[in-house]
Amino acid sequence: MNQQRQDERTRIHEAMDRLLDGHPTRSNGSLTIVALAEEAAVHRMALMKRHADLKNEFYERVRTETNQTPESETRLRETVAKLKKTLANKETELRELRQQVTLLTLASAVLTQKNGPEIEPSSAPGNIVPFPPAIP
């Protein structure tokens, strides 16, 4: 590993310690990757890509040392809960619409039979079988 990456890793570890101790020097002190990158004076994407193991370590330390759930995980859990609720609503709506289609199809068949022109068996083409008349 080259010296620049080793320096970045050292700064990231030191920044983790400061954030978790509640003594930030450069950032707002929130327990996020953005604050960690700012605190370590490392570009956020460098932290996310080159030092993904340190990002995971930071989140694990946030969980264990502060008994908190990382903010990004909290947001994701809220989004998942909203999406599950939306999906349940859509499934209910789809089930109701399918029932309506069935009922409307049946109603259309009944109305067609009652109001449609009566086809006498003699005038119907050979492949059409007329419905019997409705019994009142």
pLDDT in tens, 16-28: 999 988 899 888 8
Residue-level pLDDT at 117 = 60
Hey, is 55 helix, strand or coil? helix
The CA-based angle 31-37-41, given to 5 degrees, is: 135
Mean pLDDT over 111-133 rounds to 67
The pLDDT tens digits of the residues spanning 57-103 come to 998 888 888 877 777 788 889 999 999 999 999 999 999 999 999 99
Q: Note whether 69 and 63 are within 8 A (CB).
A: yes
Residue-level pLDDT at 67 = 78
Q: What's the mean per-residue pLDDT of the chain?
A: 85
The pLDDT tens digits of the residues spanning 31-63 come to 888 999 999 999 999 888 999 999 999 988 888
Residue-level pLDDT at 17 = 92
Q: Does position 110 have pLDDT exceeding 90, yes or no?
A: no
pTM, entire model? 0.53
